[in-house]
Structure 1
Amino acid sequence: MNDSKDMGESSSHFSILQITDPHILATSEAKLLGVNTAHYFNAVLEHAFSSKRNFDFCLVTGDLAQDPCPASYQYILSQLETYNIPCVCLPGNHDDLEIMQVVLCTEQVNCRKRMVLGNWQIISLNSQIPGSEGGYLPEEELEFLEQTLKEHANFYTLIAVHHHCLPTGSRWMDTMMIENAQELFDLIKPYPMVKTIINGHIHQAMDVQLDCVRVLTTPSTCFQFKPQSERFSLDDTSPGYRWINLYTDGSMDSDIVRLPEFLKGVQANTQGY
């Protein structure tokens, strides 16, 4: 879907909830690396929506499913629809985009490529390489991005993508970053209205200012990867989410929030998943 959605211009700012990498399994009782991913997905959503923030929009930035089957996406759909706000979902390396587009295809929860929030636009890019854990932005995605930036040059812009575009300092993780990330940065350089890039995938938080663009990453709603690690490594840091406020003058605020509870059951000595 390449359609857009305009949510109006009545607010001085718009508040976005970003959640990422829930890794939902085919049944809500199943566990991944000892973690009940469905439990923590719901706990994060409940925590976010019980906060004092009133979210206008939700972004789910990939790896929605660990078992990419209709049941997984139907479960995600049922939980997201509970909160009655627009949600856009991006594919990650564990997802099946075709199934996502069939199941996550309601007015409220979908895979739209562009959303409009007042004088901001949110552009979603697909960095998935089918059959691979790594990321890449194919020509059609970069063409879509450039065309959208040209056609809507008066909009401040947030770009959302699954894979990371800057190194994390974890050698094993950085083998999976967007291979042609420099093409992305070169493309957006002539467009100063691009203010931020957000992604998932790395199961940890980063906040980097690169020239005029702020690059943000967000903890997973389930287990986290240990920062600055040579090999695959987990820690017991709590799941979390990110809030982002977009203001009409082009400025933004953002921070992460973690659940107050420790992660239970995680098998930290595992070699992968």
Structure 2
Amino acid sequence: MNNKIMTSLSLLQITDLHILPGLGDIFLGINTEHYFHAVIDLAFAENDHFDLVLVTGDIAQDPCEISYQRILQKLEATNTPCICLPGNHDNYQLMQQIFNTTQVNCQKQVFLQNWQLICLNSQIPGSPSGGLSKEELLFLEDCLANYPNHHALIAVHHHCLKTKSAWLDTMIIENSEEFLTITKKHPQAKVITNGHIHQEMDIKSGSVRILGTPSTCFQFKPESKTITLDTTSPGYRVIKLYEDGRIESKITRLSEPLTGLQMDVPNY
């Protein structure tokens, strides 16, 4: 009988912070920065250790140096390695300039024991929709082909499978089929995790598990035809990666409700 205890890596995913230029600025009736801090504080209070913090885009709502600097300060205070991806609201060039420390950066490939994290940029400049350039797809293919003995977690901002929310699914990764075809060619590709949808998702495409994570601020109501906010609290996702390729994951949300959320969305 094998009594070996299977070790695991623990990743914290946060997403869609929508941080504003001013410390006290309000977006859709709420202070997004307050909830970003509250979610981070809860995650570290309720978990003993994270090997990595993964921030999957829409980090700033109106990107500028001062907001990214404040985000950097909070992430560095965790004393945990942090990888940041761009969302459609972000300025990726500015992100790369500011998130450029030993601890907090925009690395696209990270090795953690016998796992590799592959980070993809799904931005289409000037559009809220997602897409993966030929360069991004080639990068993904190379990472998977060159390291067949490493299980792979792929992180990207936009979603690659439909959410059943008609308005959100107009912004799905435009070449999702090509993206998923690559992952299915490589059995070590175990999981794709994304932001953007401001709600929970946990479904499979073949053997690949697809995860969507709630925002650290406001949520979108699932299965809605038009843009509709939800009163569900902000949250975070913990992803545990086991050396045999298994994955465990769960969502935790703040116990406090959003205060002052503006349910009517004139322009998102």
TM-score by length of 2: 0.97
Shift of 1:67: 1.3
140, 165, 179: which is aligned to 1:145? 140
What letter corresponds to residue 118 of structure 1 in structure 2? Answer: Q
CA–CA distance in structure 2, aligned partners of residues 232 and 197 of structure 1: 25
Tell me which residue corresponds to 1:243. 238
Unmatched 5+ stretches in structure 2:
1-5
Q: What aligned pairs does 1:38-77 form with structure 2 within 5 A after superposition?
A: 38-77=33-72
Distance 2:185 2:95 in 1: 33
Deviations 1:151-196 (A, max 9, x none): 1111000000000000001100000000000001111111000000
Do structure 1's residue 131 and structure 2's residue 152 form an aligned pair?
no
Tell me the distance in 1 between the aligned counterparts of 2:47 and 2:10. Answer: 12
Distance in structure 1 (CA, Å) of the matches to 2:182 and 2:143: 12
Following TM superposition, by how much is the alpha carbon of 1:222 offset from its aligned partner in structure 2, in angstroms? 0.2
Q: Which of structure 1's runs of 4+ aligned residues deviate more than 6 A?
A: none
Matches within 5 A, 1:31-42: 31-42=26-37
Cα offsets for 1:78-107 (capped at 9, x unmatched): 000001010000000000000000000000
Q: Is contact 1:21-1:221 (8 Å) kept?
A: yes
- Which of 178, 182, 185 lines up with 2:180 in the alignment? 185
Does the residue aligned with 1:15 lie in a helix, a strand or coil?
Answer: strand
The residue type paired with residue 12 of structure 2 is L
TM-score normalized by the length of structure 1: 0.95
1:118-267 matches, within 5 Å, as 118-267=113-262
Letter matched to residue 140 of structure 1: E
**Whole-angstrom CA distance in 1 between matches of 2:125 and 2:69:** 21
The Cα shift of 1:52 comes to 3.1
Contact 1:65 1:73 in 2 (8 A): yes
Q: Which runs of 5+ in 1 are unaligned?
A: 1-10
Aligned-residue offset at 1:72: 1.1
Matched with 1:3 is none
Counterpart residue type for residue 80 of structure 2 = I
**Distance between the aligned counterparts of 2:29 and 2:262, measured in 1?**
6
**CA RMSD in angstroms, aligned pairs only:** 0.9
Q: Secondary structure at the match of 2:181?
A: helix
SS in 1 for 2:128: coil
Whole-angstrom distance in 2 between the partners of 1:142 and 1:238: 35
The alpha-carbon deviation at position 209 of structure 1 amounts to: 1.7
**Displacement after TM superposition at 1:12 (Å):** 1.4
Counterpart check, 1:111 vs 2:106: yes
